[in-house]
Structure 1
């Protein structure tokens, strides 16, 4: 049972060599030791920030995810995935402690720093990054956040999530290579819509195309349908970006084109990934979108379900890959010391469940996306993700 702020995961197994490739789970191995619960009548003393605990043989790493509140299930899924990665790799040189950010991310970060952790995996959402960064920066402890918002990236905040702008760039470049020139967009009001539209306009401009029409809407059924009707009468475009979820996109598509017509082409975002319902919408057949490859993830998901009795959230793969990345860093990182500058921005990157990733100098994780096409009951990969950088 998780305490208010943390769960200690201490892994003791035979060491194995870790390559740059992801280790795919193939069964339970190893033992997880948890600290015994403390009775309510004798609460544990708070650790002293002046006398940090020492661990001369293992790296202390904090996992900051919500274990309570509205995102508790997502946070638990990520925590489970980190446990899997530790077991699968036999990582006896890592000690990962989980801290609950559900009620106070800043306090969770302060506890993590006081406990002597020298790297933070998390937080999950961008709104918590600032609160976590303040105590972490004072202690020179970098963050690897699971957020997909590139705007929070810094030289000490590394964004590991699947950045929507990169998905847009991959899809639009592919569409232009197939002959698309004049684009329209249907995007929700708010941050996500703003980010996707900015990416669309930048890429189309760089490739010499045109964005000839844009319609915005509130995220409601009637609003997106009205916006789609307005856009369908504008004309002058050959390709339409629908920058929304699978459900909203499926509603709008019949207002934008006739089933079976080649034009206008429809393209989507990474939000369409793993949404099989799209393949049952005739007007979306032939549409393109980009996402990271699922080849390794599918085996991970099967192993996760066999261990925990439930399907993982798709984002749980980031927890698994964060452990693989940390193990990669330990090649040149001594326990108890600060993480050396430059290790996280190795230009070669590393290979995880979600394919290759490398952190650029601005802290944004660059990923390799594949282009998929919506078919009748299936998704087809029409342009495979690069195998490296």
Structure 2
């Protein structure tokens, strides 16, 4: 992370009040990570609006998420989060209308723009971002997407999603600070694995370390075991990046302990932040991973479960933060005028449920990440996230 500068601190102070909003209705109950359901669900309240407002006193914002089909659970959790944020902030000058991308992202985008919305929040999937941008860009309407695919960012498309390469940078830097200089990696076949490999090579080079071996695997036990046996063919290493989700990490860790350098530190990405079962795996104990902080998220999750009768999807914090950001910008945004895009790239950044973040000029979000260690039954923060940029 870049060192904190005085102007950044001043800017962050301006936004600190927004993050404090989630304390308005504190909670005592801790909720599990991910999208597990509570035992007694309650009916979901209706969307913020059932139709477009007829007055000219509100900013019209479109929320494009899947509200039907296989991703409806995630989409509804995002929609619920935006509703909560609007209620918590008492944003009387904003009206949000939901559009279902499962029925066609292009159709949803055309309807949103025709309805006069000046900002699009969403969509969720990178393919949908491309489709929506083709409609929104010519109209001069910016997009705050939940995607983490940096390839679709830029030209009025801003990504709220957590970028995997940033978590790799963070955990590699931390490992190097603890004396580790020789790195290896297990990465899945496919685009995610290719990007993780590239990120590791770049991160290790930046810290002056050496990449000893990178092995690909398919998502089955036989392939993982074969890949771990090949890891040490080029020599021992101090740390091994296991760039996959928590389920695959649990499968792969015993093979790493058995076939690779036995004392090597296992490193992971922010994908592990949604996998509470990692803490129950003996082979994963002592592993490090970098992710956004969960401190404010836990309080939000308690409020969410109280309101909706179920735990939120972890991704839904992006929906809440998108509204915090919009409300802040709307304080100086004249109704009926284009969204002030230039305010999104404030170098001091913003504060949300997931900590401090800012948008780079290329539309990719940069986040302050913490490093956590997997203990027996819990995660422990071993290096706190920076409080500014």
Q: TM-score under structure 1 normalisation? A: 0.87
Deviates more, 1:213-222 or 1:141-150: 213-222
Work out whether 1:151 is the aligned partner of 2:151: yes
For 2:304 and 2:107, the matched residues in 1 are separated by 30
Q: Extract unaligned runs of 5+ from structure 2.
A: 1-14, 27-44
Provide, for residues 232-280 of structure 1, a one-character-per-residue CA deviation record: whole Å limited to 9, x for no partner. Answer: 5553311100001111111111111269x97211101111114232222
The answer to whether the Cα contact below 8 Å between 2:57 and 2:335 also exists between their aligned partners in 1 is yes
For 2:245 and 2:25, the matched residues in 1 are separated by 34
Superposed displacement of residue 281, structure 1: 2.1
1:139 matched residue in structure 2:
139
Which is richer in helix? 2
The answer to whether the Cα contact below 8 Å between 2:285 and 2:376 also exists between their aligned partners in 1 is yes
For 1:246 and 1:234, the matched residues in 2 are separated by 27
Work out whether 1:298 is the aligned partner of 2:298: yes
Superposed displacement of residue 173, structure 1: 0.3
Work out whether 1:358 is the aligned partner of 2:358: yes
Superposed displacement of residue 313, structure 1: 0.3
Superposed displacement of residue 33, structure 1: 6.5
Q: State the SS of the aligned residue for 1:236.
A: coil
Superposed displacement of residue 34, structure 1: 4.5
TM alignment of 1:242-257, pairs within 5 A:
242-257=242-257
Work out whether 1:76 is the aligned partner of 2:76: yes
Work out whether 1:385 is the aligned partner of 2:373: no
Deviates more, 1:247-256 or 1:97-106: 247-256
Superposed displacement of residue 294, structure 1: 0.5
Q: 1:18 to 1:295 in 2, by over 3 A?
A: closer
Superposed displacement of residue 230, structure 1: 2.3
TM alignment of 1:248-267, pairs within 5 A:
248-257=248-257, 263-267=263-267
The answer to whether the Cα contact below 8 Å between 2:183 and 2:240 also exists between their aligned partners in 1 is yes
| Aligned equivalent of 1:21, options 10, 15, 19 | 19
The answer to whether the Cα contact below 8 Å between 1:245 and 1:271 also exists between their aligned partners in 2 is yes
Q: State the SS of the aligned residue for 1:136.
A: helix
Q: TM-score under structure 2 normalisation? A: 0.87
Q: 1:225 to 1:55 in 2, by over 3 A?
A: farther
Q: Extract unaligned runs of 5+ from structure 1.
A: 1-16, 37-46, 48-52
TM alignment of 1:118-133, pairs within 5 A:
118-133=118-133
For 2:20 and 2:144, the matched residues in 1 are separated by 18
For 2:161 and 2:283, the matched residues in 1 are separated by 30
Provide, for residues 208-237 of structure 1, a one-character-per-residue CA deviation record: whole Å limited to 9, x for no partner. Answer: 111110110122232222212222555331
Deviates more, 1:278-287 or 1:192-201: 278-287
Q: State the SS of the aligned residue for 2:84.
A: helix
Q: 1:234 to 1:31 in 2, by over 3 A?
A: closer
Work out whether 1:320 is the aligned partner of 2:320: yes
TM alignment of 1:9-88, pairs within 5 A:
19-24=17-22, 26-27=24-25, 34-35=49-50, 55-88=55-88
The answer to whether the Cα contact below 8 Å between 2:124 and 2:145 also exists between their aligned partners in 1 is yes
The answer to whether the Cα contact below 8 Å between 2:67 and 2:73 also exists between their aligned partners in 1 is yes
Superposed displacement of residue 56, structure 1: 2.8
2:5 matched residue in structure 1:
none
RCO higher in 1 or 2 (8 Å CA, sep ≥ 6)? Answer: 2
Work out whether 1:178 is the aligned partner of 2:178: yes
- Cα RMSD of the aligned pairs, angstroms, is 2.3
Larger Rg: 1
| Count of equivalent residues | 356
Q: State the SS of the aligned residue for 1:185.
A: strand
The answer to whether the Cα contact below 8 Å between 1:122 and 1:144 also exists between their aligned partners in 2 is yes
Q: 1:378 to 1:35 in 2, by over 3 A?
A: closer
1:4 matched residue in structure 2:
none
Provide, for residues 325-356 of structure 1, a one-character-per-residue CA deviation record: whole Å limited to 9, x for no partner. Answer: 00011122111111124111011111111111
